[in-house]
Amino acid sequence: MRRTIFDEDHDAFRESCRTFVDRTLRPHQEKHIGNHELGREVWLELGKQGFLGLNVPEEYGGAGVDDLRFSLILAEELSRLAFAYSSCVGIHTNCVAPYLVDLCTEEQRQRWLPTFCTGELITALAMTEASGGSDLAALKSRAVADGEDWILNGSKTFITNGACADLVLVAARTNPERGAKGITLFAVQADMPGFERGRKLDKVGQPEADTSELFFDDVRVPPGNVIGEVDHGFIYMMQRLVAERIGSAVNNIAHARQILDETLDYVKERKAFGTPIGSFQANKFTLAELQTLAEVTQAYVDQCMVAAVDGTLTAVDAAKAKWWSAQAQNDILDACVQLWGGYGYMNEYRVARAWADARVSKIWAGSNEIMKELIGRDLGL
């Protein structure tokens, strides 16, 4: 089914994203896998091409594009190469950017956004702690006022871009009495004494992504590094999770559709019993179901994307898009592995990597269970 939510400008932008992926990422993917990170040169090139500041106002070095579709097109094209690329870049462009643009003071914007756009300042968003990620309001990292400064203690885990980030937005408890209403966001700079990174975590998939533990031991954070108002961090995070979740949904389905296309080519070539495996009725029906699932999912995600552009996307609809697309992605990729037979289980095949890369989409940015919890609550249950 033809997608109807893009115009010629979007199509031209998609072409430039594809060129970037083919020239700058694809030839170096094995290096990114080996290093478990993209490397500064990729970030600088992303910045040079103008991809990092799409939704940042022009006066701070961005493109000032008031149309989320451009960021999401970039995310789709990155996902089509490998899920980790859209994860790493998306945290910076789709997750962190809105905090810096919407909540920062003029001085903070001037300080961070120009280098955010060039790729000289890589960012991360640190909410999850070892004691739990789903129940964000229960986080334990603590910041205590010391004169005008704050002294930050605690740790975070599973943080995308954690090892390479120059600036990390950290959620910490500033008012223990007030639960969710006692959490504040702090911008922690890489060179602040007491800020340490743990090892790059050994993940099942997405080897190109750096995912790390972070430790804060008496980190002195000046008042100029508080994001927004003290004790308002939780509501800021909730407000921005809608954009994060539609971003996830877009990546999920783009990733699955790319591998499904590659699998369709494969089943026409690969023979068993003298016949292309795709023409056995069992496989033909499977592929018919997968293609239908992919297109129907895409239609819903596209509608959500349009709603996100005009500001009407609800948290509940974003939750539906996120869990459904994650489930569809995992179902599609699991069936694709089956169709590739033994090769589908070999890491040198894209389908195997994609299958492993995708598993986390049902867990992160709000697990499928948490998404259903939100939807259930909206049903009055």
Ligand X SMILES: Cc1cc2nc3c(=O)[nH]c(=O)nc-3n(C[C@H](O)[C@H](O)[C@H](O)COP(=O)(O)OP(=O)(O)OC[C@H]3O[C@@H](n4cnc5c(N)ncnc54)[C@H](O)[C@@H]3O)c2cc1C
For position 34 contacting ligand X by CB under 6 A, the verdict is no
Is-catalytic flag, 244? yes
Single out the catalytic residue among 244, 262, 295, 348: 244
Which range in 46-54, 126-134, 315-323, 329-337 contacts ligand X by CB under 6 A? 126-134
User: 258 vs 361, which CB is nearer to ligand X?
Assistant: 361
CB of 92 to ligand X, least distance (A): 10
In the complex, what is the shortest distance from the CB of residue 134 to ligand X, in angstroms, rounded to a whole number? 3
Q: Single out the residue of 260, 339, 360, 374 in contact with ligand X (rule: CB under 6 A).
A: 360
Among 34, 64, 132, 176, contact with ligand X (rule: CB under 6 A)? 132
Cβ contacts of residue 319 below 8 Å, gap of 6+? 245, 366, 371, 372, 374, 375
> Using CB under 6 A, which residues numbered 263 to 302 contact ligand X?
none
Report the residue from 38, 54, 100, 126 that binds ligand X according to the rule CB under 6 A: 126
Q: Is 155 near ligand X (CB under 6 A)? A: no
Tell me, residue by residue from 362 to 381, as one string, x for binding to ligand X by CB under 6 A and - for no binding: -xxx-x-xx--x--------
Q: In terms of CB distance, is 35 or 128 closer to ligand X?
A: 128
Six-digit token string for 56: 């940042």
Complete DSSP assignment for 22-71:
IIIIGGGHHHHHHHTS--HHHHHHHHHTT-TTTTS-GGGTS-----HHHH
C-beta of residue 159 within 8 angstroms of C-beta of residue 211: yes
The CB-based long-range contact list for 327-331 (8 Å cut-off, 24+ gap) reads 327/362, 327/368, 328/252, 328/253, 328/256, 328/293, 328/294, 328/297, 329/252, 329/253, 329/255, 329/256, 329/358, 329/361, 330/358, 330/359, 330/361, 330/362, 331/290, 331/293
3-state secondary structure 180-226: HHHEEEEEEECCCCCEEEEEECCCCCCCCCCEEEEEEEEEEECHHHE
Each residue 225-264 as x (binds ligand X by CB under 6 A) or -, in order, gives ----------------------------------------
**Binding of ligand X at residue 67 (CB under 6 A)?**
no
Q: Minimum Å distance from CB 125 to ligand X?
A: 5
Candidate residues 10, 18, 203, 220; the one interacting with ligand X per rule CB under 6 A: 203
Q: What are phi and psi of 339, to 5 degrees?
A: -70, -25
Contact flag: residue 125 with ligand X (CB under 6 A): yes
Tell me the closest approach of the beta carbon of residue 160 to ligand X, in angstroms. 3
3-class DSSP assignment, residue 133: coil
Q: Nearest Cα to 365, choosing from 60, 125, 205, 179?
A: 125
Q: What span, in angstroms and rounded, lies between the C-alpha atoms of 288 and 357? A: 24
Among 159, 227, 241, 277, binds ligand X (CB under 6 A): 159
Token duo for residue 344: 């589908």
Q: What one-character DSSP code corresponds to residue 364?
A: S
Task: Determine the interface stretch with ligand X among 3-11, 30-38, 39-47, 125-133 (rule: CB under 6 A).
Answer: 125-133
Footprint of ligand X (CB under 6 A): 91, 124-128, 132-134, 158-160, 203, 211, 360, 363-365, 367, 369-370, 373
What are the residue numbers of the active site?
Answer: 244
